[in-house]
Chain A
């Protein structure tokens, strides 16, 4: 994936320069986030439901509902625009949020919350993390 993956055009839109393989990785990540939000048994589910106030056993239900709604809205918008060549700001934000949720869910599910543990991860996991980070670097720079 040489060159910049996301480019801000003069009309304000963000051009997506991902090839088919890269879009397949994004599609897989978005799919996992969508599934994890709905399935309590999904390995990413806990990461999507981390505590808001750790000093309480249960978080405010309205805040929890708001989080579920917003995560789902973002991932649905990201999935709907996966094949697009250009993203507007709302779509780019949905991509950024969903890719970042996928990145953090990956390390949380695999217990890789420190640099040392990350270095001990298998090669496939490290490649996947690096790919998501590359997408995120590119997207954040364009935003």
Chain B
């Protein structure tokens, strides 16, 4: 059985940081449907903003169209905000929310 040695301060800090990162819920970038935006525009925007391939961009667009909204990206808050801003700059109705 391996012996347990006390953690040094730097180890504790590192452990807390890792634990915090692991338990922090991700932020979702949501795109909402509207009655006027052409589907092809949404696909182009997803390809350009996220670099998604055409089939993934199309699938996400169809989810927005059929379900009224889609989670198009998940991850840390700052990046989620950045993506949301890019989508809004491209004229899409986008928001962020923390994963439930």
Task: Establish whether residues B90 and A97, one from each chain, have CB atoms under 8 Å apart when the complex forms.
Answer: yes
Spell out A's residues near B (CB within 8 Å).
50-55, 60, 63, 66-67, 70-71, 74, 93, 96-104, 107, 112-115, 117-118, 129, 133, 136-137, 140-141, 143
Shortest CB-to-CB span from A46 to chain B, Å, is 13
B48 in the interface, Cβ–Cβ < 8 Å?
A: yes
Contacts of A70 in B (CB 8 A): 85-86, 89
A118-B81 contact in complex given A53-B97, A67-B88, A96-B90, C-beta closer than 8 Å? no
Task: Establish whether residues B90 and A100, one from each chain, have CB atoms under 8 Å apart when the complex forms.
Answer: yes
Spell out B's residues near A (CB within 8 Å).
34-38, 40-41, 43-45, 48, 81-82, 84-86, 88-98
Task: Name the 8 nearest CB pairs between A and B, nearest first.
Answer: A100-B91, A140-B40, A101-B91, A70-B89, A115-B35, A63-B81, A67-B85, A140-B44
Q: Which of B34, B38, B43, B81 contacts A60 (CB 8 A)?
A: B81
**A and B contact pairs by CB, cutoff 8 A, 18 listed:** A52-B94, A54-B95, A55-B97, A67-B85, A71-B89, A93-B48, A96-B41, A100-B41, A100-B91, A100-B92, A112-B35, A112-B36, A113-B34, A133-B38, A136-B41, A140-B40, A140-B43, A141-B40
Task: Establish whether residues A140 and B96, one from each chain, have CB atoms under 8 Å apart when the complex forms.
Answer: no
Number of A-B contacts (CB under 8 A): 92
Q: Which of B36, B81, B92 contacts A133 (CB 8 A)?
A: B36
Residue of A nearest to B30 (CB): A54
Task: Establish whether residues B35 and A51, one from each chain, have CB atoms under 8 Å apart when the complex forms.
Answer: no
Given A70-B89, A140-B43, output 16 extra A-B contacts at Cβ < 8 Å.
A51-B95, A52-B81, A52-B85, A52-B88, A52-B94, A52-B96, A99-B91, A100-B91, A101-B89, A102-B91, A103-B36, A107-B36, A118-B35, A133-B36, A140-B44, A141-B40
